[in-house]
Amino acid sequence: MYAPVHVGRAPFARRETRPFGRSTVRGAPLAQVGGARYRQLDECWLYTDMHVALLFNSGDSKFQGTYGDPIRDAILSTNILQRCGRQLKVKVGDVLLASNAHSSKQSLVHLAKLTFYSCRWRHLLGHKLRSTYLRSTVYTWTIQNIDVATALRLHKSLLSDSAYLGMHEIDLSIPIHLVLYRNSLIGIYRIQGRRCHLYDSMGDVDARDKGEARALRKLGFTVVTWEDRGAHGTIFDNFDTPQHFAKVGALRRVIARSRGLDRADEAILLLEDLSPRLLVTLGTAARTALDALDEEELAQAALSARRYLEQLADALFPPRPGLINGHPVSKAKYQNRLWAFISTSIRLHARGRATRINRLGALVDDAIVAVNAGLHGNSTANRIRQVFADLADLTVELLNLDPSKTRQPYAAFLPNMSEFLRGSRRRRRFHTK
């Protein structure tokens, strides 16, 4: 059975529906649902996995004013997200169109079109969606890292729900998507199989909703725990600009060319948890590599890649005095620190421990050799771009060794938090004079 893909010529153009399979557009084979294969089509990626928004009419008469919990139950009772087994991040909330539009009706309708129709992958119930304009609020679940096949199964299962308005892809390099789908919504869950982590922010234990945890257990989750989101999404989080997500998009494309979008999105998802600053470093390097035209620009991309490895080592195994396994782990010895992280993250008596350490250590060594070759002008453009795919593989392998160590929800935001505290002290001293 083929699933449709929608191809638009412009953001608001009439959609064409074509099947996945051997059909071609301009001679390019279309991607297979759920696989790692993809092709570029009219400058648009046909994603194997992506970031989507599920839309609901909060004014549906069945809700009688309370819609968050019933919509949660409608989505999770399908059991589709639990069965897919992927690590998913969920945000929820109202799509605040009226708050971001000018007072006129035309302005709101135009903003709605920009929001819902800017991306080419979309399965919207257009008549139902347009009927909400100026009448009721659209409520959304955004799901990061969902694969196309799972998204389409969820779409099909929700079609009978009178409040359901369809789904569309999110692109955070589009300013209105950034404002409405990232900066205005609440991060609420991390889902992986039958495990669900509920987010709290800045260690606010008193704000935890125990009723929500009970409801999730009734919906089939066997493990429900709490996870501190740290300063993500607070006033200290300044990784929220279109420029930042343009860099992330460049990194995604570079990795996807040789490893597929599945590996690209996994690396990005894990790096977001460890440090958005690392994403900036690697994303900047990826953009440089994509645009490089000469040896000097390639060397600059390689230099950024080395800086990324140094920052990765700083995040995973900060420098310290003394020796680990007979090797110094000072600031300059980032290669030794990555090896030290590997050896200390694999349990002492784990089966095949020595083999795993040597295999991962070899990945570290190979990446550093390839980066240094680029620095000295001994690499081609294709090889430098391949290095970023190798770095993605290395990153995913390292961050999956010990998730408890690699989730650092405050680290990237400490400079902003420190500056805020210093400013508060200065203002307090001024007012007490």
- Residue 18 pLDDT: 31
- Residue 35 pLDDT: 32
Whether the CB-CB separation of 15 and 22 falls below 8 Å is answered with: no
Q: What's the pTM? A: 0.73
CB atoms < 10 A from the CB of 308, how many? 25
- Residue 11 pLDDT: 34
Looking at 77-174, list the stretches that DSSP marks H as alpha helix, in order from N- to C-terminal side. Answer: 80-84, 97-100, 105-117, 126-130, 148-158
Burial class of residue 171 (count of CB atoms within 10 Å of its CB; 0-12, 13-18, 19+): buried
- Residue 242 pLDDT: 82
Q: Where are the domains of the chain?
A: 49-193, 245-414
Which one, of 205, 197, 213, 47, lies nearest residue 119 by Cα? 47
Give me 106's structure tokens.
């035309």
C-alpha 146/C-alpha 82 separation (Å) is 11
CA dihedral for 173, 178, 179, 180, sign (positive or negative): positive
CA dihedral for 401, 237, 194, 192, sign (positive or negative): negative
CB atoms < 10 A from the CB of 317, how many? 23
Q: With both helix axes pointing from N to C terminus, report the angle between 334-345 and 353-375 in degrees, rounded to the nearest 10.
A: 160
| Cβ neighbours of residue 37 closer than 8 Å, sequence gap 6 or more | 31, 48, 260
Indicate the pairing of strand 122-124 with strand 195-200.
unpaired
DSSP 374: H
Using left for φ > 0, alpha for ψ between -120 and 50, and beta otherwise, residue 64 falls in left
Whether the CB-CB separation of 57 and 119 falls below 8 Å is answered with: no
The domain 49-193 is classified under which CATH number: 1.10.10, 3.40.50, 3.30.70, 1.10.340?
3.30.70
CA distances from 281 to 125, 205, 301, 311 (A): 40, 33, 10, 9
- Residue 429 pLDDT: 67
CA distances from 68 to 56, 91, 94, 95, 220 (A): 10, 12, 10, 13, 18
C-alpha 338/C-alpha 327 separation (Å) is 11
C-alpha 362/C-alpha 33 separation (Å) is 34
pLDDT in tens, the chain (433 residues): 323 333 333 333 333 333 333 222 222 232 333 333 333 333 333 445 689 999 999 999 999 889 999 999 999 999 999 999 888 999 999 999 988 777 678 888 999 999 999 998 999 999 999 999 988 999 999 999 999 999 999 999 999 999 999 999 999 889 999 999 998 998 999 999 999 999 887 767 777 888 999 999 999 999 999 988 777 777 788 888 888 888 888 888 888 887 887 778 888 888 887 778 888 888 888 888 888 878 888 888 889 899 999 999 998 999 999 999 899 999 999 999 999 999 999 988 888 999 999 999 999 999 999 999 988 888 888 888 888 888 888 888 898 887 766 677 777 777 878 887 887 777 766 666 5
CA end-to-end distance (rounded Å), the chain: 75
Indicate the pairing of strand 223-228 with strand 195-200.
parallel
Which one, of 58, 16, 26, 22, lies nearest residue 37 by Cα? 22
CA distances from 260 to 36, 81, 236, 273, 332 (A): 5, 22, 33, 21, 33
C-alpha 373/C-alpha 363 separation (Å) is 15
Whether the CB-CB separation of 187 and 200 falls below 8 Å is answered with: no
- Residue 249 pLDDT: 84
